[in-house]
Chain A
């Protein structure tokens, strides 16, 4: 039985429908990341799950018990749902010390004093905050406050915790560290984690499964990070996950042709012909999965001209004109130096290593010719 089950839920603020007909199951003990662009309804989803807003249709069950339902009208109060929450702004109470913050859920749930103290201390040790027990939140850094919020959530529920963009406000290095720690903690304790973020990279490093939501609040894909990365369900998910190139392509017999800006067809040799319906297609590729061949080197399915070369330190970033379309390519610096950095304006060969094909919109102007 899934620990959380949402069936066909709709959430709206007044007339503004934020989530419509969403269904999602969360398995016990998993680490589920809900990923989507800003203001796509991720936080609304969390608030509906926690009971801070009502749903206008559908049903949410926790451990098989209905906690929110539109008909018959059921809304179990947030305090009775037993969900630990880490809010985006941490919501660490400024008038309580670190210890008081962490022990608060236990006090509210009438845990005997000694046991409460022990458990709070244990949680504090878990997030490495034991030495700060008597500090006020104003004396802590952002990362430390975040740990306090995490410890409070862990104390609050040993079953399910929801983290709403918990590490967005931290700097890059701390973010990486915290993501790793959250992952580690979850594996040690076995608590179910729902991790809400707009940052697909963190989501991939942290989760067992990813839920990709689009701007309208619909789920586009659910799957393990590597599945989602390797086989994005559609063009939108593909481009949401990272920098991408889309080139217009058409079918030519068993193979495919690249459609140049002038309307000419250049045959594309693809290793495996991906299955895809439709006549008008877009070939998707990542900058790191495109290989370029210098002038004089042999290879490349298509020909192009190097338009711009930018040195990024660990990588070179190229803009390459392929049949009138710009393709972004990234190459490891070591390799680029080894094979010689291409000059701007020089011709080159381009090979798409693992391209994906998606059906193009019917009115895509690139197919007008």
Chain B
């Protein structure tokens, strides 16, 4: 605490130069916002879990944790997380090696396809696969049953296996992208010298390439694990009907069933603590794994690696890749798109069954849907702008001002990265529903605050990356030319990081636009978000309208990505 106080009121900073006013104000303001939006919710979860009316209370936590239903949810969470990680890593590695190290054709096209699962929320995938493989109503199962004449479906998506499949489809790009970039940056002479020394191709892959990209694999795999453990949408859509619960869906059910009662929220908080423990355990394992392998031989610049000739296997491998990418990426989007035009779910997919009525309903008649689109737009743009500036402020303090206490600021801004969205939502409820005299429950502001906390890490990282490019001498040159500190920021620093700021905005706007996990606990009667609306319509059984609305969301997201592409294209002079 002492270092903290000196930094607030304090004498010398670590760089020896002390700037009054603006810098210290920015530091304190960032710290204050982070404490309120990020730290307070976490503290409140712990406090509410282990204290009741001011007295320590372990009994509730123990009871909730030991409840058989909850234990099975924990087991499901771990099982699904583990399986998704294993399959996602294998799939990601396979494609990464094909694209990074083999002479397979159509690399650009395939790489572009891999970014698609990144763009859309996994619960769209769950909806789409449910359309195809729900045990009785799914189109594929119906075709199969009419073909065989039996009543046994081909596959049942409403199972743990189904959940694992859909999550794998959406999370394998984590490993893929990490490993591809590591392979591209790896010095090819490392492999070439092994070949010259007489090692065979397979030996080089096992003994040279794989160990070198191991840190990248580990990083990607842990990202999958953490994402899967905290994930809500897919198990919610595919698991509820068969009573398959994971920790996040169980927390949601508890809170929903309690209908806002305090004890229900406390139980939800208790499960949240458990969920955070699981995530922290996963992060700890990641640290252990990453510590064992840090290699500097992976260089920053990209080089032309030695490509492995696939020869006879080229065409079959290309076929398998394209087919699997088609199934993983294109088919679900197509299903959602086409079902959105159906008169009723279950009708054969023929031209005469298509209609625009669903769009008329969702965009015209349903006030709830229109409100949700407006809400999501306001929330995404609003939290995008605010969080982006917050990220710039924090990054500026950490990189340029460097006061004592910057470590704390950095930690707080990166913390939300590893907090599941649902846990954050519960924390935000606990802080902002009157506990400190402010009640924002059922207003749009409570979602706004949660979004700031949820996306501040993205904004901070994106702003840091561009601020690090601005050497401090550029600002000092402006100072020596007669510009005040504020003027040097306005004339030099801000214009130079503007492209990074715009990219940072979209990094928040895009996920916020399709967000479900956090808002599903925070929405009120008039503050549904687009994600919540799709989820609600879908779970009410109005599949065609849900698909139509999902198509609208897909359109908005694609548009956003196109704008992002346009904004971040190569610039001259910067």
Contacts and interface: CB of A to CB of B under 8 A. Distances in A.
B243 interface: no
A318 interface: no
A87 interface: yes
A50 B480 contact: yes
A132 B482 CA distance: 24
A251 interface: no
Contacts of A50: 476, 479-480
Given A94-B496, A104-B478, A156-B480, 7 more contacts: A12-B16, A54-B17, A82-B482, A91-B474, A93-B496, A95-B573, A109-B482
Contact of A79 (B14, B474, B480): B480
Given A14-B16, A54-B16, A95-B496, A78 B573 contact: no
Interface in A88-111: 88-89, 91, 93-95, 104-105, 108-109
A79 B483 contact: yes
Contact of A81 (B480, B484, B487, B495): B480
A275 B471 CA distance: 51
A229 interface: no
Contact of A88 (B473, B478, B480): B473
A104 B491 CA distance: 10
Given A94-B496, A156-B482, A85 B18 contact: no
B473 A156 contact: no
A232 interface: no
Contacts of B14: 13-14
B473 to A, nearest CB: 4
B15 interface: yes
A52 interface: yes
Interface in B472-513: 473-474, 476-485, 487, 491-492, 495-496
A96 B429 CA distance: 48
B16 A13 contact: yes
Interface in B254-303: none
10 contacts: A13-B15, A13-B16, A52-B479, A77-B484, A93-B478, A104-B483, A105-B481, A108-B482, A108-B483, A152-B481
Contacts, number: 87
B192 interface: no
A149 to B, nearest CB: 8
Contacts of B496: 93-95
A241 interface: no
Interface in A38-82: 50-54, 77-79, 81-82
Contacts of B485: 77
B492 A93 contact: yes
A13 B15 CA distance: 6
A104 B15 contact: no
Contacts of B15: 13, 53
B473 A87 contact: yes
Given A12-B16, A95-B495, A156 B481 contact: yes
Contacts of B491: 104
A79 B473 contact: no
Contact of A93 (B17, B474, B480, B572): B474
Contacts of A89: 471, 473
Interface string A107-124: 011000000000000000
Q: Which 5 A-B pairs have the closest CB atoms?
A: A105-B481, A108-B482, A91-B477, A78-B479, A91-B473
B360 interface: no
Contacts of A94: 496, 573-574
A138 interface: yes
Interface in A138-167: 138-139, 149, 152, 156
B12 interface: yes
Contacts of B477: 85, 87, 91, 93, 149, 152
B165 to A, nearest CB: 49
Interface in A252-279: none
A125 to B, nearest CB: 20
A91 B477 CA distance: 6
Contacts of A152: 477, 481
A137 interface: yes
Contacts of A53: 15-17
Contacts of A79: 479-484
A302 interface: no
A14 B403 CA distance: 12
A95 B495 CA distance: 8
B479 A136 contact: no
Interface string B553-574: 0000000000000000000111
A83 interface: yes
A349 interface: no
B476 A78 contact: yes
A76 to B, nearest CB: 12
Given A53-B16, A54-B16, A136-B572, A104 B476 contact: no
A287 interface: no
Contacts of B473: 87-89, 91
B226 to A, nearest CB: 37
B480 A138 contact: no
Contact of B480 (A78, A95, A137, A139): A78
Contacts of A105: 481-482
Interface in A313-331: none
B572 A104 contact: no
Of the listed residues B15, B471, B477, B491, the one surrounded by the most CB atoms of chain A closer than 10 A to its CB is: B477
A64 B483 CA distance: 23
A79 B485 CA distance: 9
Nearest to B483: A108
A60 B370 CA distance: 66
A139 B477 CA distance: 20
A84 interface: yes
B476 A137 contact: no
B573 A85 contact: no
Contacts of A82: 482
A281 to B, nearest CB: 42
A189 B492 CA distance: 29
B17 A83 contact: no
Interface string B449-491: 0000000000000000000000101101111111111010001
Contact of B479 (A54, A77, A137): A77
A51 B17 CA distance: 9
Contacts of B471: 89, 91
Interface string B17-35: 1100000000000000000
Contacts of A93: 474, 477-478, 492, 496
A138 B496 CA distance: 14
Nearest to B487: A108
Contacts of A52: 17, 476, 479
Of the listed residues B18, B476, B479, B482, the one surrounded by the most CB atoms of chain A closer than 10 A to its CB is: B482
A53 B14 CA distance: 12
A108 B481 contact: yes
Contacts of B482: 79, 82, 105, 108-109, 156
Contacts of B17: 52-54
A233 to B, nearest CB: 30
Contacts of A149: 477
Of the listed residues B479, B483, B492, the one surrounded by the most CB atoms of chain A closer than 10 A to its CB is: B479
Contacts of A87: 473, 476-477
A239 to B, nearest CB: 31
A81 B484 CA distance: 12
Contacts of A95: 495-496, 573-574
A105 B488 CA distance: 11
Contacts of A81: 480
Contacts of A109: 482
A39 to B, nearest CB: 16
Contacts of A13: 14-16
A178 to B, nearest CB: 19
Contacts of A108: 478, 481-483, 487
A85 B484 contact: no
B547 to A, nearest CB: 46
Nearest to B573: A136
